[in-house]
Copies of this chain bind each other. A is one copy, B any other.
Amino acid sequence: MVASALAGAPATAAENDARRARGEAALAKITGAEGRTVVETIRRTSPELGDWIVDFAYGDVFSRPGVSLCTRELATVAALTALGNAQPQLKVHVEGALNVGCKPDEIVEIIMQMAVYAGFPSALNGIAAAREVFEKKGVQTSAMKAATDAAQPAAAPGR
C-alpha cells in the first residue's frame, strides 16, 4: 500500500470524521463570530479554502494539546505583527487571544517585543490593530485604564 511506505497507518475513519467537528469547535472557541464570518466569506469564492481553515488550521493545528491556546494565540499575534502584511488577520487573532483568556497587557507586551525582531513600524502597526480591537471589545490595558482614570476627576469626598 502506498500510504504505508512513508508513514505509519493512515488516519482511521473515526479520526478523520472528527476533524471537521474539532475544527468547528476550535474556530468557535477562539475566533467567535469573527472567524465564522471570515470562513463564510471565503467559502463564497473558494469553498475548499474555507474548509481548509476549519479542518487543517483549526482541526489539525489549533486543536493540538501541548501548548495553551493563549500561548498559541500570542505566537500568532507575534508572527502576524512581524510579517506586517496581514492586518485583518492580526485583528482576528488579537480578538482570539482575548477570547481564550490572554490579558490585554500580555498582548501589548508581545507586540511591543516585535520592535526588537521586526522593527518599530511593525510594532506600531500592531499596536494600532490591537487598540482597534480593544476599543471594539470594550477592554483596556493598564495604560488605557490609567489614562481614562486621569481624565475623570474623582468624585469629591463627602458627597
Binding site for B on A (CB under 8 A): 1-3, 5-7, 10-11, 13-14, 16-17, 19-21, 24-25, 27-28, 36, 38-57, 60-62, 64, 66-67, 71-72, 74-86, 88-89, 105-106, 108-125, 127-128, 130-131, 134, 141, 143-144, 147
Task: Identify 28 residue pairs between A and B in the complex whose beta-carbon atoms are under 8 Å apart, listed by A's number.
Answer: A3-B24, A6-B40, A6-B43, A6-B54, A10-B21, A16-B17, A45-B144, A46-B111, A46-B127, A46-B141, A46-B143, A48-B112, A53-B120, A61-B112, A62-B113, A72-B110, A75-B77, A75-B114, A79-B81, A79-B117, A82-B119, A83-B118, A85-B122, A88-B125, A116-B120, A117-B120, A118-B118, A119-B119
